[in-house]
Structure 1
Amino acid sequence: MNKRSQPLLSDEQSLRSRARKRRDPAQPNLLLDQMPDRIEPALALLKARPPSDSRYIAEVKFDGYRGAIHVEPGGVRFLTRGGHDWTERFPGIADAARDLGVASAILDGEAVVLDEQGRSDFGALQRSLGGRGGKLPSGNSVFYAFDLLYLDGHDLQKMELSSRRHLLEELLDGREGAIRFSEQIDGDAVSIFNAACEHGLEGVIFKDPDSPYRSGRTGDWIKVKCIQSESFFVVGYEKSAVARGGVGSLLLAARKGGVLQYVGSVGTGFKYKDAVELRDMLDKLAMKKPLITYDGRRKNVVWAQPTLIAEVEYRAWTYDGKLRHASYKGLRVVQDNAAVYEIEG
C-alpha cells in the first residue's frame, strides 16, 4: 500500500483554511439547463507578483493535466483541456466520479501524481501514463477539483465563484480518494506565495471570488509562479558528438500572432534515455528548412515539424526574447497543444 502523502502547507498555521458552514439547502426551483457537451476552460493570467486585492482567494497551483470530469446519465468522461477523452487513462478518477451520487455534473480541476511530500510531480504523472504519447492507465493519479460548472440540471457558470466552490465542497464532502477538493489557503497573498515557494511548490493561483466562470485568460484568475515553467514546440535539435544521446540542445518556439517564433534552446534536464528517444522522434519529423525565422548561430541543426511539445523550466527572458537558464522537464502530448506558450503583442 502506498504511503499516504502529507497535506500541503500543513505546518503553516497562518495558512489553514477556515471551517465553513454548510450551504443552505433551500434553493429556488429553476428550469433545467441543457448540459454542455464541453466547456472551454478558464485560464489563469501569468503575473510577476501576487495581487494586492485582499478579496482574492488562493489555491495551490498544480503541475499536471488540466481536465473536466463530466458525470452524465450515460456514464463518466474525463476531457482534457483540448477536449480529448482520456477517461480510460484515469480509471481511478472515473470510478470516484461514478460514486459522487449526482445525476449530472461538470467538475473543473487537474489530474496529478503526488510525491511523498504531497507535491504534484509532472514527471511522475507522465511516467504513470507510459511516457510521452503513452496510453497506460494511471493507477495513482488524483484529481484536484477547484470549480463546479454544472450540477443536476443547472448551469452554474454565471454564479459567482465563491458559491460554486461552496457547492463543490459540499459535493465532495471531505473525500480523500481519487477526487479531492482543492482547498483555499487563508492568509495575505504575499505570505501565501512565499510559503508555497519555500515548500517547493510550482506557484499559487489567485481568483476573484465574485467572478462568473469565463473561458480563456480574462484576468479573473491570476497565476504567480515560484519557478517559471511553460510549454514550447520543439522545432529541431543541435547535433553533438560529445553530448549524451547525440543531442546538444533542443530548439524551441512559441506562438505569436498565429505564427511560430524562435525563443532559444534547452540543453540540460534530459537524461541519456530521454536524449535518444528525442533524437529518434525528431529524426522522423525532420525538415529541410525551418518554419521559424532563425538567427543562424547554431550549426549541425536538424529541423523538425513542430509536433513535439516540451515542458521547460527557465529563470527569465532575455532582452531579445530568448529563454534564460532553461531546463527540460518532459514532453507533453500532441493533444495538449492548447498549452503552448503564446507571446503577447
Structure 2
Amino acid sequence: MKIEPTLAQTYKNQDITGWWASVKLDGVRAVWDGEKFYTRKGHVIHTPDWFTEGMPDVPLDGELYISCDNFDEISGLVRMTDPRAFGEEWDLMWSWVTYRVFDLYGGEGSFTSRYDGVLGLIRPSHVKIVHQLPINDVDYMLNDAVSKGYEGIMLRDPTAPYHHKRTSTLLKYKKTQDMDGTVVGYEDGKGRNEGRVGALWVESDGSKYKVGTGLTDEVRTNPPPIGSIITVEYFEITKAGKPRFPVYKGMRAEQ
C-alpha cells in the first residue's frame, strides 16, 4: 500500500506566530487505514488481534510508542515478520505499546479541524491523543519537553491542510539532530567489552565514522548486522562531513 504521511522540516527560527506545539515522541511512525497499521514505506505492521479491536474506522496518523528510552524495543517489534515464533511473549510485548495519534491521515480541512476530529474519536484505552498547545515561548517549551525525557517538540501550523510530503507547515525542534547510516563494520571491544563489539563503523552520505556511545550490553553482544540501517543522534556535522559526538539510537524499523 502506498503511504505518504506529512514529514517535518527543521525549525530554524521561522515565523511560527499562532502555531501549536506538541512533544516529539521517540517511537515508530504508523498510519492506520481503518483496518491495519502501516509503516511510512507501506509495509504492514503485525499486531495482536486485540490491539486493533475497537480502533476507529477512519485513517489516522501517529506513532507506535513505548516510552522515551525504548526506541530500539518498539523498532524491533515493528520489524517482526513472523511474530508467531515468539508466542505469548510477543503478545506481552505489545501490551507495553500505545498508539499516539496526532492527525487524521489524509483528512480534509485545516489541522485545527482535523485535530477536533481526533479529539472526538471513540477509541480503545491504548490509543492516546498527542496534545497540542499554543506556542508562547518555543525555547521554554523545548527545554521543558527535553527535561521530561522527550526528543524535542513538533511545531504545527493550525491552518495547514494535510500534506503528503515534507512540508514547511510542520517543523521539528530538537537540541540534537539525527540521521540514518549503514553498518559497514565492527570494532572489537576492550576491557569489560572484550569479546563483544566495542563500536560500529557506520557510513552516511559517503562519510565513514565510528559509533560507540549508546550501545547497550545487548547490542554489543548481538550488534546490528552488516548492511542494516541504524539511526544515529549527533550535535552537528563537522567540516569533514561527519557527525560530531554520534550516539546509537537503534535500528530503523524498516530495512
Aligned partner of 2:8 in structure 1 is 44
Q: 1:140 aligns with which of 71, 96, 110?
A: 96
User: Over aligned residues, Cα RMSD in angstroms?
Assistant: 2.7
Distance 1:309 1:320, change over 3 A: same
- Name 1:58's counterpart in structure 2: 21
Q: Is the 8 A contact 1:58 1:184 kept in 2?
A: yes
Q: Does 1:328 align with 2:248?
A: yes
Q: 1:176 deviation in Å?
A: 7.2
Which secondary structure does the structure 2 equivalent of 1:81 belong to?
Answer: coil
> Residue 33 of structure 2: SS of its match in structure 1?
strand
What is the percentage of aligned positions where both structures have the same residue? 28
Deviations 1:61-114 (A, max 9, x none): 11111011111xxxx20111111111x3354541241xx3xxx41000000013
1:253 Cα offset (Å) = 2.3
Question: Normalising to structure 1: TM-score of the pair?
Answer: 0.63
Asked if the contact 1:112–1:120 (Cα under 8 Å) also holds between the matched residues in 2, the reply is: no
Corresponding letter in the other structure for 1:68: V
Distance 1:133 1:245, change over 3 A: farther
SS of equivalent residue, structure 2 residue 206: strand
1:163-202 to 2 correspondences below 5 Å: 163-172=113-122, 177-188=125-136, 189-202=138-151
Among 71, 74, 78, the residue aligned to 2:37: 78
Query: For the structure 1 residues 38 and 132, does the alpha-carbon distance in structure 2 shift closer, same or farther, using more than 3 Å as the test?
Result: closer
Contact 1:93–1:141 at 8 Å: present in 2 too? no
- Cα distance in 1 between the residues matched to 2:177 and 2:70: 15
Distance 1:323 1:266 in 2: 10
TM-superposed CA distance for 1:263, in Å, is 4.7
> Contact 1:96–1:179 (CA<8 Å) still a contact in 2?
no
Shift of 1:149: 2.9
Is residue 224 of structure 1 aligned with residue 173 of structure 2?
yes
Deviation of residue 237 (structure 1)? Answer: 2.3
Aligned residues: 245
CA distance 1:221–1:187, change in 2 (3 Å): closer
* Alpha-carbon contact 1:266-1:328 (below 8 Å) kept: yes
Residue 94 in structure 1 maps to residue 52 in structure 2: yes
**Larger CA Rg, structure 1 vs 2:** 1
Q: Give the gaps of 5 or more residues in structure 1.
A: 1-36, 151-155, 255-259, 283-305, 338-345
Higher relative contact order (CA 8 A, sep 6+): 2
Write the letter of the residue equivalent to 1:261. G
Structure 1 position 209, deviation (Å): 1.2
Unaligned runs of 5+ in 2: 84-89
Normalised by the length of structure 2, the TM-score is: 0.83
CA–CA separation in structure 2 for the residues paired with 1:221 and 1:130 = 25
1:322 positional shift: 0.6
Aligned counterparts of 1:275 and 1:112: Cα–Cα separation in 2: 24
**Counterpart Cα distance in 1 of 2:27 and 2:66:** 7
Instruction: Report the counterpart of residue 301 of structure 1 in structure 2.
Output: none
Map 1:163-312 onto structure 2 (within 5 A): 163-172=113-122, 177-188=125-136, 189-240=138-189, 243-254=193-204, 260-278=205-223, 281-282=225-226, 306=227, 308-312=228-232
CA-to-partner distance for each residue in 1:208-235, whole Å, 9 max, x for gaps?
1111111221212100113433332212
